[in-house]
Amino acid sequence: MRCFGDSTILGKNVVVTGASSGIGAEAARIFALSGARVFALGRDPAKTTAVVESINAACGESRVTFVPCDLSSIESIRAAATTINAAGVPLHVLLNNAGVMAIQSRETTKDGFEMQIGTNHIGHFVLTNELTPALKAGAPSRIVNVSSMAHRRGGVIFDDMMLEKAYDAWRSYGQSKSANILHAVELQRRLGPEGVTACSLHPGVITDGSDLWRHAGQIMQANKTVPQGAATSLFCAVAPRIVGGGFYNDCAQASAAGWATDAELAVQLWLETEKLLTGLSG
């Protein structure tokens, strides 16, 4: 809670993806204990419900609501957004936290997208668009994309975003994390004038208590605990002076690779993502 500084989340409405474990569960806990109403999104009902019940017990009242959401399924994402929007409340924070990492063999989502770009970027792109009216209603509000320093493994491969020509687990992850940063850059351009601030961040390397490493062939040495890793997400959600479109690490603005912060590439990614989704609906 120290990362909140003089800010408050009391009485605000927050959406957290990937709330079944790790940073997502910790962020949902801190938000709720600080007085927010939280929509906790997760694809595993048993795990996410257990987290929600634990947090509500600690709060002494029901502040957290489980919303089923599989970010590898557009149908599931839209159903989740419908549930949230049906609550009829303004949103003040959208924490796009969920993700998959370093899947060793190429897999696809339910809609045919390469799994890492499909889940980490396209899934959050759809969810964010579906919740944008509620975020505008809650302005000043925040969209926080959890990226990674692993974005430095490479930018978006626009002529082969689905990595059908050549697949590498870590290159795929790097592309998806670069996309998270570019997404925040373009969100800021589009929504900043309407009071919605977007940014992205690196949470640190966290192994214990996180499911993110379940696909990786090897586990890197951790440099943070889950609460330490959640701190920058919380900071970006509530700090009074966040740089719109900025990239953060250790609760401070940091440098990202040029390909992840280029405004023209951010526009290109937005348009290419829309094309992919249009092709899906067609």
- DSSP letters for 117-138: IIIIIIIHHHHHHHHHHHHHHT
Residue with tokens 């709060």: 59
Angle between helical axes of 74-86 and 124-137 (0-180°, round to 10): 10
- β-partners of residue 142 are 93, 197
For 210-241, the pLDDT digits (tens) are: 455 444 555 555 689 999 999 999 999 999 98
**Residue 7 binned pLDDT confidence (cut-offs 50, 70, 90):** low
134 has pLDDT over 50: yes
Q: CB of 69 within 8 A of CB of 17?
A: yes
CA dist., res. 282 & res. 19, Å (int): 32
CATH number for the domain harbouring residue 32:
3.40.50.720
The pLDDT score that the predictor gives to residue 141 is 98
Mean local confidence (pLDDT), 14-39: 97
What are phi and psi for residue 91, nearest 5 degrees? -105, 140
* Residue ranges making up the domain that contains 222: 2-281
Cβ pair 151, 201 in contact under 8 A: no
Q: What is the mean pLDDT of the chain?
A: 93
Query: In 140-262, where does DSSP find H-type helix?
Result: 169-191, 226-238, 258-261
For the question of residue 248 being annotated catalytic, the response is no
pLDDT of 231: 95
Q: Would you state the pLDDT for residue 213? A: 44
Backbone angles phi, psi at 90, to 5 degrees: -70, 150
Q: Which residue out of 66, 173, 213, 248 is catalytically annotated?
A: 173
In order of 54, 198, 233, 266, 276, the CA distances from 248 in angstroms are 30, 11, 9, 18, 29
DSSP state string for 58-105: HHTS--EEEEE--TT-HHHHHHHHHHHHHT-----EEEE-------SS
Q: In degrees rounded to 5, what are phi and psi of residue 221?
A: -70, 130
The count of structural domains within the chain is 1
What pLDDT, on a 0 to 100 scale, did the predictor assign at position 53?
98
The secondary structure of residue 1, as a DSSP letter, is: -
Largest CA distance in the chain: 53
d(CA 277, CA 74): 9
For residue 231 the two structure tokens come to: 């701190």
Q: What is the predicted pLDDT for the residue at 206?
A: 80
Q: pLDDT tens digit string along 51-60?
A: 999 999 999 9
CB atoms within 10 A of CB 27: 31
